[in-house]
Amino acid sequence: MTGKPLLILVGTKAQFIKTAPILREFDARKTPYRLVYTGQHSETFQLLESAFSTRPADDQMVADMEASTHNKFLRWIFRFWAAAFKRRQQWKGASCGLVHGDTASTLVGAMALRCAGVPVVHVEAGLRSPRLLEPFPEEIIRRWVSRLARLHLVPDQAAARNLEGVRGVVIDTCGNTLRDALAMALAGWTDAPTSGGDGDYAVVSIHRSENLGRKQNFDFLMEEILQVAQILPVKFVLHPTTRERIHSSGWLTRLQAAENLALTDRMDYPEFVKLLVGSSCLLTDGGSNQEEAAMMGLPTLLLRNETERPDGLTSNVSLSRMQLGSAREFVMRHADKRWSLGMISGPSPSARVVDAIESSYPSGGR
């Protein structure tokens, strides 16, 4: 790719994991780019850089911050826009700007790029939920970013159909870049396993606003987790926002007192993959977790009413629809059982992402 370097904006841990294989592909091709951290999340980023052998960011818009509460999130937004205003002239020379997924960083990053006159490339574009407000605010973010982007890189044909009539070019990357990240994590094992579940425990991971921000949903899930821990040991992986919510809600004492329930800090990606492989099942509200589980074959209960992702729904992923007792019933079916670990193979979606960018913006054209 000739011309001026492109910008790559990363704001959250999940974005980092899915963008890391793209960075590695650009590096392999010696394609110039500027990596920019938005600062929405910062916890574990150095661990992830080490795990994926990516270089540190060229720029961090908001330093030393973790937008884990509403007040911190508002402070981050204010500081982000102050930093984006200062960078308008600097960014104007970029051939294009890449944003990923459906987080706040995706939206404000796309808006800031457009304000600087930089064409927006949206990776993992086209995902849609049946309801505008579920998940909130991710579904609204996806739709807004689709209006801002000029190159839409979708993971499959279903996502492409969702973008019919959209302005710009839609390209199917034939998979999610998470496939490459997962393959990298598994490739680092000395003895690659063929099955999972040897650890006889359940992994729990929740972080979505729809579950943390609604007291009814949050209390319901905490009760469900306590019920699950009576059947099978639970490793509850805490996102920063989840940790803050547990502390502020008064649930910490009950969770700490529960037998067979361990509150676990987030870890780097290879460690998390090992944790999943050792588990009998996964309970999560995360879209990326759903995709990982679908590829791995890990029995998973999705703690949501709706999902924009079809991954695994006809095989190993079940949608709880937040029904009472659904977690307990699910775990009872899978406790102490082994499951076959799927083969992570196929053409690289990250390579297709880079191919699409290089062909669409070879010399800084708009």
Q: What Å distances lie between residue 42 and 45, 98, 236, 282, 315, CA to CA? A: 6, 19, 20, 25, 35
Given this model, what pLDDT does residue 197 score? 94
Partners of 98 in the β-ladder: 8, 121
Q: Which CATH superfamily is domain 6-185+347-360 in?
A: Glycogen Phosphorylase B; (3.40.50.2000)
The residue extents of the domains of the chain are: 6-185+347-360, 195-340
What CATH architecture does domain 195-340 belong to? 3-Layer(aba) Sandwich (3.40)
The 10s digit of each residue's pLDDT in 263-283 is 999 999 999 999 999 999 999
Closest CA to 189 of 274, 275, 267: 274
Stretches in the chain below the pLDDT threshold 50: 1-2, 364-366
Given this model, what pLDDT does residue 1 score? 40
Given this model, what pLDDT does residue 363 score? 52
Asked if the domains 6-185+347-360 and 195-340 are classified in one and the same CATH topology, the answer is yes
pTM, full prediction: 0.93
